[in-house]
Chains A and B, each alone.
Chain A
Amino acid sequence: MTATQPPSATPIGRGPEEDRTYYGRPALKAAPFEKWVVGGYIFLAGLSGAAQLLSTVADLVGRKKDEAVVSYGRWLSALAPTVGSALLIYDLNTPKRFYNMLRILKRTSPMSIGTWLLMAFSAFGGMTLSCTLLAGRLPRLRRVARVTQIPAAVAGAGLSTYTASLLSATSTPLWAAAPKALAIRFGSSSVAAGAAALSLGARHRGRHRAARDLDTLMVVALMVEALATVASENTCHKKRISVGTEGNGLQAAATVGMLLPVGLHAISIATRRRDTRLQHWASWIALAGSLCLRVSVLEAGIESANRPRDYFRFARPENLPPGT
């Protein structure tokens, strides 16, 4: 129903109660986020956080000669503090007051939690990277990096998934309907993107063995993401919330970016050709898919907030969490 339809379209006392609206006007205000700016940040935060986490695991248990992969991961972790922070500040409506985010820490606000996660990640990730870079002159710094990378990896794990809580802790029906599934989707998509980026780096340095391990991890992460996507769509259907967009195919791009890399790897294993070009493409597609996932979730959420019926169906007594 459009806002201009006459009120007789929703007569009082007629029709299913929860399907009534006020002239079809939104009952909520949609998030005033720029989908490509905030989506871009969520993608970079996930990529950086996961790259730091994976390079830490590789440094702790992996082969000595794969050190190049580890330092590549530490470089990738610089994306969130630099480009990511710039995107966040750009999205503020009063950017010159960005530092007010640092006045407080509030545990009910994922945006506040995320601010401090990003701060911790920037500090420890930055220390790890600078120690890696200076290790040529001062070999002792290599050991410092081995220590600082651990808190950086922990903050990185938080950074790669807290953005889902940020969206779920709103009243936007599509984001709020399945908080756990959304967090798993974002977390596994981050790990897939981190593994894909590291695999590209490893292949570039000729570390094919490491690249293959990373590709396997990417496929596992993408399959976890696919399962969580199915679970989240089921929950939305149960609550009768539309998951679709009027859209420009971003959702389709995200689905392709999630499933095609898995398919390409299946082909490369089935044909036993170990075609590096195929794997190269799979990594790039997974990275693009991870970005499209975040932008499409933002877009679909903003559209769902503008559909009053979706919100009223979400805000029904039967959907209340137990104990409230």
Chain B
Amino acid sequence: MSKGLPLSKRVLEYPDSRLPHMMPDEAELTAGIRVVSGKSYGFFTDTTVCIGCKACEVACKEWNNLPADHLGLTGNSYDNTGALSANTWRHVAFIENLADRPTGMPAFQSNWLMMSDVCKHCHNPPCMEACPTGALFKTEFDTVVVQQDICNGCGYCVPACPFGVVDVSKLDGKAHKCTLCYDRLKGGLEPACAKSCPTDSIQFGEVADLQERARRRVEELHGLGVTSAYLYGTPGGPGATGGLAYLNAFFLLTETPETYNLPEAPTRPANRVAASLVSGLAAVAGLALAALALFVHPD
């Protein structure tokens, strides 16, 4: 945040670098809010200030104890992570514009686009709506989490997700994805990725506050001449289409969604259930009537 976060006066209570105990409501110091159950939390990822440091990826792996996916180079710019997966819940995308180098630099970044991707924690989550065991649920923080002791690895949440986020791990046979640091929220802490982000490209907070903050940021950027800035995943915008309503983890982008590997108009798969069931049953009923006409034989 260019204007700076409203820092709590509580920082004055901790003058030393060594802490005697865990800070109560630590998020108040790091994100300026107290995490309370019953409110709606999410991420606002402002890609215009992302510097591609991958601190979010590292913090996520460390806090959640996630194993490495693969060691090696992909050849896709500095993106050696590749994609979100069962073991990777933050993924920094790098889009280099080699073809069209400008002579002057734009008002932000260089000639790169960087974007830290994450589970969108949809308002109407397709993964949760598909889950036949109830393992996927909405928490008291309005986030979407897989209960590891319930999931039986049917894998139906994987194709349901319109953003390619959820994945089944071959290591333990369960579905995994970002929990928006459910355990940290319960302890009053800011999620690991947002806390570690050095430029506040990832901001954690209440969804309504974040949406307001994001709208102001778009206006600010438009004023600076970055007229391509827009929000992905806020009500009525791209990414929040087809019955998804809005995304609790939303983004500020400056290129088409596809550039960042995001669909422009994703849909809620559950909306296709009724039409499909009705037409399938109608076809079978019609053929059963044909059978009746063929078989009928009064004797």
The reply to whether B158 and A176 contact each other, CB–CB distance below 8 Å, is no
B296 and A31 form a contact (CB under 8 A): no
B262 partner, pick from A27, A100, A104, A172, beta carbons under 8 A: A27
Is A136 positioned at the interface, with any CB of B under 8 Å from its CB? no
Residues of B within 8 A of A210 (CB): 295
Residue A7 at the B interface, CB < 8 A?
Answer: yes
Contact B273–A317 (Cβ < 8 Å): no
State whether A17 touches B241 (Cβ < 8 A): no
- Interface size classification for chain A: 35 or more
Known A-B contacts A18-B264, A187-B287; the reply to A11 vs B281 at CB < 8 A is no
| Alpha-carbon distance between A63 and B263 when the two chains are bound, in angstroms | 57
A193 to chain B, nearest CB (A): 12
- Contact check, B155 vs A32: say whether CB atoms are below 8 A apart: yes
- CB-CB under 8 A for A187 and B281, given A171-B159, A315-B267: yes
Q: Is the CB of B150 within 8 A of A103?
A: yes
Q: Name, among B97, B173, B286, B288, the residue most crowded by chain A CB atoms within 10 Å (CB to CB).
A: B288
Chain B hits for A104, CB < 8 A: 132-134
The reply to whether A61 and B273 contact each other, CB–CB distance below 8 Å, is no
Cα A250 to Cα B22 in complex, Å, equals 60
Q: Which of A121-129, A213-221, A238-246, A277-285 contacts B (4 or more CB under 8 A)?
A: A213-221
> How many angstroms from the CA of A120 to the CA of B65 in the assembled complex?
42
B164 A92 Cβ-Cβ under 8 A:
no
Interface string of A283-324 (1 = CB under 8 A from B): 000000000000000000100010010011001110111001
Q: Indicate whether A8 reaches chain B with its CB closer than 8 angstroms.
A: yes
A236 to chain B, nearest CB (A): 15
Chain B residues with Cβ under 8 A from A184's Cβ?
Answer: 279-280, 283
Roughly how many angstroms separate A182 CA and B75 CA in the complex, as a whole number?
39
> CB distance B285 to A319 under 8 Å?
no
| CB contact between B162 and one of A13, A14, A113, A171 (< 8 Å): that residue | A171
Q: Which of B135-194 contact A (CB under 8 A)?
A: 135, 150-156, 158-168, 170, 172-174
Residues of chain A within 8 A of B155, CB atoms compared: 31-33, 91, 93
B196 CB → nearest A CB, Å: 24
Q: A3-B76, A61-B292, A176-B267 are in contact. Are A93 and B276 (CB under 8 A)?
A: no
Q: Are A25 and B100 in contact (CB under 8 A)?
A: no
A57 proximal to B (CB < 8 A): yes
B261 and A190 within 8 A (CB): no
- Nearest CB of chain B from residue A316's CB, rounded to whole Å: 6
Find chain B residues with CB under 8 A from A187 CB. Answer: 280-281, 283-284, 287
Name the 5 nearest CB pairs between A and B, nearest first.
A93-B153, A183-B280, A161-B280, A11-B99, A315-B263
Residues of A within 8 A of B (CB): 3-4, 6-8, 10-14, 17-18, 20-23, 25-33, 50, 53-54, 57-58, 61-64, 91-95, 97-98, 100-101, 103-104, 106-113, 115, 157-158, 160-162, 164-166, 168-172, 175-176, 179-180, 182-184, 186-188, 190-191, 195, 210, 213, 216-217, 220-221, 224, 228, 301, 305, 308, 311-312, 315-317, 319-321, 324
B residues with a Cβ closer than 8 A to A are: 74-77, 79, 82-83, 93, 95-100, 113, 126, 129-135, 150-156, 158-168, 170, 172-174, 241-243, 255-256, 258-273, 275-277, 279-281, 283-288, 290-292, 294-297, 299
